[in-house]
Amino acid sequence: MKRVLAGFAVMAVMAVTVQASGYPPEFYASRTYAQRNGPAVFAKSAKMGQQTFAIGYRKDGMLGASQKVVAIVTSCYMEEYAHSAWREKCSGPVTVELGREWNGTGFMSTPLNSGSLTGYNGQSVNITRVEIAFSDGVRWDSVYGRNYKFSIEEMQRGPVFTSSQNSSYNSHISTDAWNYILDLMRK
């Protein structure tokens, strides 16, 4: 517990130091990319090298009236397998529970780190793409077995939301970035 608290203290000092060091505000402001594919929404928020993800399922999807929805996620990421040689590796399916979003737009996950999406908790990896299927326990929504696909590279070529510098802490998604994601859920 002491190590965890010490880690948070170090991160807080680093954030204050960066803000006071004369770097431009864009350096420590988080950038959020979100994309919609049918009723599925996938978002990535990055701040100072830390990445956080969110998964949403819109209420107009075929499972939108369900009591609960889970996302079954397969993530692909870059892995170094030899000195300076990289290859893409995909994790097995990981189940992520989605809670009902309180604004009534559908279902949303809590903020997820890359370890949560790959099943390698505690290990940060560079996710390149994800495939998501949804289930309410009885029915499936997986685009007839093809899954909803999201490419991080394609997302980063699209619109970006840059949040204010003091609206989030470490790897959490800031409130204004959540509002940006919810706007996409409403469309």
pLDDT value for 12: 52
Sort 170 into a burial class: Cβ within 10 Å, 0-12 / 13-18 / 19+: middle
pLDDT value for 78: 85
Query: Rounded distance, CA 150 to CA 60, Å?
Result: 19
pLDDT value for 63: 96
**Are 52 and 176 within 8 A, CB to CB?**
no
Q: Which of 73, 5, 17 is nearest to 48 (CA)?
A: 17
Query: Rounded distance, CA 48 to CA 62, Å?
Result: 37
- Does residue 140 have a pLDDT over 80? yes
Question: Alpha carbon 49 to chain centroid distance?
Answer: 14
List the beta bridge partners of residue 97: 70
pLDDT value for 175: 86
Query: Rounded distance, CA 166 to CA 106, Å?
Result: 28
Q: Please give the average per-residue pLDDT across 158-177, as a whole number.
A: 74
For 66-115, write each residue's pLDDT tens digit.
999 999 999 999 877 777 788 888 988 999 999 999 899 999 999 998 88
The percent of residues above 90 in pLDDT, for the chain, comes to: 52
For 151-165, write each residue's pLDDT tens digit.
999 999 999 998 875
User: In angstroms, what CA-CA distances link 135 with 61, 65, 69, 73, 107?
Assistant: 11, 12, 6, 11, 12
Number of residues in the chain: 187
For 4-20, write each residue's pLDDT tens digit.
455 545 455 455 544 55
pLDDT value for 81: 74
Question: Residue 101 contacts by C-beta under 8 Å, 6 or more apart in sequence?
Answer: 56, 107, 108, 182, 185
**Are 87 and 115 within 8 A, CB to CB?**
no
